């Protein structure tokens, strides 16, 4: 286990709101952000500058990705196109004074190497997980499957963050059948800005408090 405090932000899918949630958590905890595996740079600037801007992070609060690939594919496939194999030795948790918010790529069962999925990376890093999910129809299945994969490996789950139109029934079922808690929720937003991120960040409990709640 690592001594570095922090969380790993993963999700039930890609494009689901992990980066927005990461920005909110960075802002709330004055944390340092790290996206170890970035893909898709052919089409976009990547999540690191987005979080830096949304959370208003100073340059030192952002650690560059260990790997940055052009193709909008899973890391294994995107790396293959550049003849690069991910070296697990470079996926070691940076040691920083602040809490660390680490964002995954896609969901849990996303190939990083022939012998490594994102869920294996999480297990190795030893951070508890924040699971970002869709709020609507289909989410109970995706969320419970993700929770089961995490629990099988003994990875602690701080809680779930549904994104989209509020759906109390789905939240209840996720909490009940997934034996977890809804940390907070994000409704559809007209704009995603630093101001909005800062408003959400104001209502997030301290990481220590969340950690104590799951260890009770």
Ligand X SMILES: Nc1ncnc2c1ncn2[C@@H]1O[C@H](COP(=O)(O)OP(=O)(O)OP(=O)(O)O)[C@@H](O)[C@H]1O
Least distance CB 72 / ligand X (angstroms): 8
For residue 16, the minimal CB distance to ligand X (Å) is 4
Whether 187 contacts 152, CB under 8 Å: no
Task: Say if CB 198 and CB 27 are below 8 A apart.
Answer: yes
Of 7, 10, 24, give the one whose Cα is nearest residue 142: 10
Binding partner selected for residue 106 from ligand X, Mg ion, none, CB under the kind-specific 5 to 8 Å limit: ligand X
Q: Which does 70 bind (CB under 5 to 8 A by kind): ligand X, Mg ion, none?
A: none
Selection from Mg ion, ligand X, none that 59 binds (CB < 5 to 8 A by kind) is none
Please, which residue, 10 or 19, has the CB nearer to Mg ion?
19
Q: Which residue lies nearer to ligand X by CB, 109 or 189?
A: 189
Render 39-81 in DSSP notation, one character per residue: --TTTS--HHHHHHHHHT--GGGEEPPSEE-SSSS-HHHHHHH
Q: Which residue's CB is nearer to ligand X, number 43 or number 208?
A: 43
Note if 35 is an active site residue: yes
Interface with Mg ion, residue 19, by CB under 5 A: yes
Q: What minimum distance in Å lies between the beta carbon of 215 and Mg ion?
A: 28
Q: Which residues bind ligand X (CB under 6 A)?
A: 11, 14-20, 47, 106, 163, 186, 188-189, 192
Residue closest to Mg ion, measured at CB: 19
Shortest CB 45 distance to ligand X, Å: 11
Asked if residue 51 lies in contact with residue 19, where contact means CB atoms within 8 angstroms, the answer is yes
CA dist., res. 88 & res. 85, Å (int): 9
Beta bridge partners of 157: 129
CB 100 within 8 A of CB 61: no
State the first-to-last Cα distance of the chain, in angstroms, to the nearest integer.
19
Question: Nearer Cβ to ligand X, position 192 or 204?
Answer: 192
Catalytic one of 18, 27, 35, 142: 35
- Answer yes or no whether residue 142 interacts with Mg ion by CB under 5 A: no
Three-state DSSP at 35 gives: coil
Sites of contact with Mg ion (CB under 5 A): 18-19, 47
Catalytic residues, by residue number, are 35
């Amino acid at each position: 286990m690592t001594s570095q405090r922090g969380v790993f932000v993963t999700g039930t899918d890609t494009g689901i709101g992990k980066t927005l949630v990461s920005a909110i958590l960075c802002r709330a905890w004055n944390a340092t952000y790290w996206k170890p595996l970035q893909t898709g740079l052919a089409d976009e600037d990547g999540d690191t500058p987005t979080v830096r801007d949304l959370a208003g992070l100073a340059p030192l609060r952002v650690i560059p990705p260990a790997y940055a690939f052009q193709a909008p594919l899973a890391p294994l496939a995107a790396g293959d196109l550049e003849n690069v194999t991910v070296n697990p030795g470079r996926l070691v948790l940076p040691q920083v004074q602040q809490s660390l918010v680490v964002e995954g790529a896609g969901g849990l069962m996303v190939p990083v190497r022939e012998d490594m999925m994102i869920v294996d990376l999480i297990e190795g890093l030893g951070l508890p997980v924040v699971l970002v999910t869709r709020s609507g129809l289909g989410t109970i299945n995706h969320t419970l499957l993700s929770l089961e994969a995490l629990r099988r490996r003994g990875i602690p789950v701080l809680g779930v963050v549904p994104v989209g139109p509020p759906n109390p029934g789905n939240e209840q079922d996720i909490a009940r059948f997934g034996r977890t808690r809804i940390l907070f929720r994000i409704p559809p937003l007209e704009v995603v800005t630093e101001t909005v991120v800062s408003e959400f960040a104001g209502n997030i409990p301290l990481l220590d408090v969340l950690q104590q709640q799951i260890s009770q």
